[in-house]
A and B are shown apart, each in its own frame.
Chain A
Amino acid sequence: MNAPHTAAPQRIDTLALAETPEGIVLSLQPAGLVARTLAFLLDLLIRLAINLVVLMVLSALGRLGGGLALIAFFCVEWLYPIVFELTRGGATPGKGVMGLRVVMDTGLPITPAGSFIRNLLRVADFLPFGYAFGIVTMLLNREFKRLGDLAAGTLVVHAKQVVLHDAPPDAASIAPARALSLSERAAIRAWAGRARRLTPARFEELAQIAAPVLPPVQPGDPKRSTAERLLGVAQWLMGSRG
């Protein structure tokens, strides 16, 4: 299907592939150090705020309140990620803001066992200071897993897709000069969807690269730029035969 690869055989990407029992290959987008550090810092601030409120409320109770506050701190520290991961679609509030989610290696929703293991092992990731082991394993692991993720078989993924294209502009449909492969069709449609984001000059420049798929211009045809004609091919690919 694909055009012959002339460059290096394996191009660098960060995708993790997971195969379902039905034989469908899902590609997950594991999240690395930067997104996860920012999510962690947000969660840390939220936890601190909760602790502060708890402390203010319980301090009215004197020494009993102090004891209760310590128990509450313990629960906030340990249950906060587990509760959110199991109830809010696998994301603590910090992860939610950064568009992250925790899933199993298989792409399935996180299981209670997975969540407990990955969060209990924060103790190991924390060593020797401030999640230093976690940071190093995340930098060196291909799927950006920290020790807890390795043990639990979980993966933190980018859940939001970035979309750069919108609906392609209208054009009179033109049949391409030859049959197009799946990836070629996808490329032409992605190009057509960027019409509003690119400068007209850049849009035309890209169309020139794909000019070989355009049929030769007939004598009676109206005069149109390469971009307009390639937009016609995009319309044809999307089913318009006008």
Chain B
Amino acid sequence: MRVEGLAVVLRPRSQSEACDLGLAMVRAQAASVWRCFAPVFLAVAALALCTVDLRGWLPMLIIFWLKPWLDRTLLFVMSRAVFGQATRWSDLWQARRQVFGGQFLRTLLWRRFSPWRAYTQPVEQLEGQRGGARRKRVSLMLNENRGAATGLQTAFVHAEAVLGYGLVALLWWFAPENRNAGVWDWFFHPGAHEAGELARDLVFSVSYMAVVLFLEPFYVAAGFAMYLNRRVALEAWDIEQEFRRAFA
């Protein structure tokens, strides 16, 4: 890792301030982030929506379950953004084996239930550690940082829920004055309405997907920035950055 090439300013930060650095990183490379993430996400979302006929909640569950895998694309983009590099679809395609493949079981089972997956993802995906070395590394990263990493998860779980409900609430808000109650009733008793159950399930699923498409990059970047901040504390990356800029 060429610390001197980093496009972010490293300095001692609290972990919650490090999350803010992640948000700033997404804004700085917004074009790269959604250019690469949107096609992958929309392809998965389209396939997931095909299952809406089986069970109304199935598309949402599929997206929810695949999030750790979808995050791999985002971390790939962020790992370049941190050096100020833009990422195009062709870059992602060239690295497809490393990004899309590998660690399937861990990604889809173990990491799905980890309360700090965004924070430990760089250890698994970028450092490429395996077995005992990875376990030791992850526990070193988590040492004294479990609270902060869970805080990140808590904040984003709330944000996701609120934005999801908010989008659905907008529908109720913009319904004509005398039809609001009807929209409300449609949410809970879709069978009694002309629009029906399928339309309701589609509305819920698409709202959820829109929220994930918007929010997931911020979540992954915040976790990545926390990881960088941990390395500032453990390995004095901020000092290496200053030294290399000044003396090398």
Q: Taking beta carbons and an 8 Å cutoff, which residues of A are in contact with B?
A: 3, 5-8, 11-14, 29-35, 37-38, 41, 98-99, 128-132, 135-136, 139-140, 142, 144, 158, 160, 162-164, 181, 183-184, 186-187, 190-191, 194, 197-198, 202, 206, 209-213
Is there an interface contact between B165 and A162, defined as CB atoms closer than 8 Å?
no
In the complex, B36 has a CB within 8 A of chain A? no
> Can you list 18 pairs linking A and B with CB atoms under 8 Å apart?
A11-B7, A11-B8, A12-B28, A31-B20, A37-B159, A99-B14, A130-B161, A132-B163, A135-B162, A135-B163, A139-B23, A139-B218, A144-B20, A144-B23, A164-B12, A184-B247, A191-B239, A206-B243
In the complex, B183 has a CB within 8 A of chain A? no
In the complex, B5 has a CB within 8 A of chain A? yes
In the complex, B133 has a CB within 8 A of chain A? no
Other-chain contact of A160, B14, B155, B245 (Cβ < 8 Å): B14
Q: How far is the CB of A9 from chain B (nearest CB, A)?
A: 9
Interface of B is mostly: helix
Residues in A whose Cβ lies below 8 Å from that of B159: 33, 37, 135
Other-chain contact of B166, A5, A7, A129 (Cβ < 8 Å): A129
The CA of A190 and the CA of B21, in the complex, are separated in Å by 21
Residues in A whose Cβ lies below 8 Å from that of B236: 164, 191, 194, 197-198, 202, 206
Whose C-beta in chain B lies nearest to the C-beta of A40?
A: B158
The CA of A197 and the CA of B231, in the complex, are separated in Å by 12
Is there an interface contact between B25 and A158, defined as CB atoms closer than 8 Å?
no
Residues in B whose Cβ lies below 8 Å from that of A130: 161-162, 165-166
Is there an interface contact between A187 and B246, defined as CB atoms closer than 8 Å?
yes
In the complex, B4 has a CB within 8 A of chain A? yes
Is there an interface contact between A129 and B17, defined as CB atoms closer than 8 Å?
no
- B227-248 Cβ-contact flags toward A at 8 Å (1 or 0): 0000011011011101111111
Known: A32-B20, A33-B19, A140-B27. A13 touches B169 (CB 8 A): no
Q: How far is the CB of A135 from chain B (nearest CB, A)?
A: 5
Instruction: Name B1-41 residues within 8 Å CB distance of A.
Output: 4-9, 12-14, 16-17, 19-21, 23-25, 27-28
Q: How far is the CB of A27 from chain B (nearest CB, A)?
A: 11
- Considering only CB atoms and an 8 Å cut-off, how many residues of chain B contact the other chain? 52
Is there an interface contact between B154 and A212, defined as CB atoms closer than 8 Å?
no
Whose C-beta in chain A lies nearest to the C-beta of B245?
A: A3
Is there an interface contact between B19 and A129, defined as CB atoms closer than 8 Å?
no
Q: How far is the CB of A219 from chain B (nearest CB, A)?
A: 25
The CA of A216 and the CA of B156, in the complex, are separated in Å by 54
Whose C-beta in chain B lies nearest to the C-beta of A144?
A: B20
Is there an interface contact between B24 and A35, defined as CB atoms closer than 8 Å?
no
Is there an interface contact between B169 and A128, defined as CB atoms closer than 8 Å?
yes
Q: How far is the CB of A131 from chain B (nearest CB, A)?
A: 6
- B129-146 Cβ-contact flags toward A at 8 Å (1 or 0): 000000000000000000
Residues in B whose Cβ lies below 8 Å from that of A212: 247
Q: How far is the CB of B188 from chain A (nearest CB, A)?
A: 17
Is there an interface contact between B173 and A12, defined as CB atoms closer than 8 Å?
no
Residues in B whose Cβ lies below 8 Å from that of A211: 247
Residues in B whose Cβ lies below 8 Å from that of A163: 12
Is there an interface contact between A128 and B170, defined as CB atoms closer than 8 Å?
yes
Residues in B whose Cβ lies below 8 Å from that of A37: 154-155, 158-159
Known: A187-B239, A209-B240. A33 touches B246 (CB 8 A): no
Other-chain contact of A34, B16, B242, B244 (Cβ < 8 Å): B16
Is there an interface contact between B6 and A7, defined as CB atoms closer than 8 Å?
yes
